[in-house]
Amino acid sequence: MASLICGSLAFDTIMSFEGRFAQQILPEQLHILNVSFLVPHLRRDFGGCAGNIAYAMRQLGGTPLPMATVGRDGADYLQRLHGQGISTEFVREVDDTYTAQAMIMTDRDNNQITAFHPGAMMQAHVNRIAARPDIRLGIISPDGRDAMLQHAEQFHAAGIPFVFDPGQGLPMFDGAELAHFVALATWVTVNDYEGQMLCDRMSVTPAELSRRARALVVTRGAEGCDVWEDGVCTRVPGVQPAQVVDPTGCGDAWRGALLWGLEQGWSMARCAVLGNRLGALKVAASGPQNYTVDRAALLREAA
């Protein structure tokens, strides 16, 4: 069984600011904002939601199929995916642009400021989804606007159950468009900030939203996550990481565990337990795709 992962492949430039953003940004001066942050630590990682989710699934032994676009500088990423045993069958190269780039700055409280250049991601809609016997699940994670809209329709038409994970792409859509995504999707996942925005734009409560899909999951960082099913909320406690090194890609690791658990036929609550544990492992490592997993031990802990 394979899962089709629609989203971005991106290069992440990750910088560490040793202070606190709150001490550098004056709320009363936002109209003339002009700040500079000294970032003594910088690295470049492979990232993007599709790549990060695929990496997490592969760590668990799954068969992820990322569907994405890369630019003329994407050869290293393709080689990286091949080296991880991840198929690039649905990754298209676009010659006249760069691969998506994320510039992420993290302060000492793990707050983040991100600048994102979409590049080839804006042409992700050229990829099309069709029914195939080995593709049993899918996910729509942040991607080009047209790609997210069209892929949701294509998943539904192909009869492939999918997770709607709007993430940082959520502000691109109005309430009616978001309601249509939810109507087509089988499951919905958001973090707490995105969950509030989603409910506000759709003019619903989380309980009401959960009745429109099989389940709604709201992740809450170290606090764990809320699993909403048919209007009832179950809190799944968080997992304390061995150390807090870098939160980048934690949510994607969680979603990779979710897809793998759904492939196994697990309950949403059990999927969330696995997601919280995998997320904690990711937080303890630098970069979104540099952690390793003792699969047998992790699955025992999530039993």
Look at residues 166, 209, 186, 175 and name the one whose alpha carbon lies nearest to residue 49. Answer: 166
Which of 143, 226, 246, 252 is flagged as catalytic? 252
Q: Which residue has the tokens 């080995």?
A: 134
C-alpha distances (whole Å) from 169 to each of 17, 113, 179, 202 are: 25, 15, 15, 15
Strands of the sheet containing 64-70, edge to edge, are 91-93, 64-70, 2-6, 135-140, 162-164, 187-191, 215-219, 225-229, 232-236
β-partners of residue 93 are 70
Separation between Cα atoms, residue 125 and residue 147, nearest integer Å: 4
Q: Is 174 a catalytic residue?
A: no
Residues that are catalytic: 252
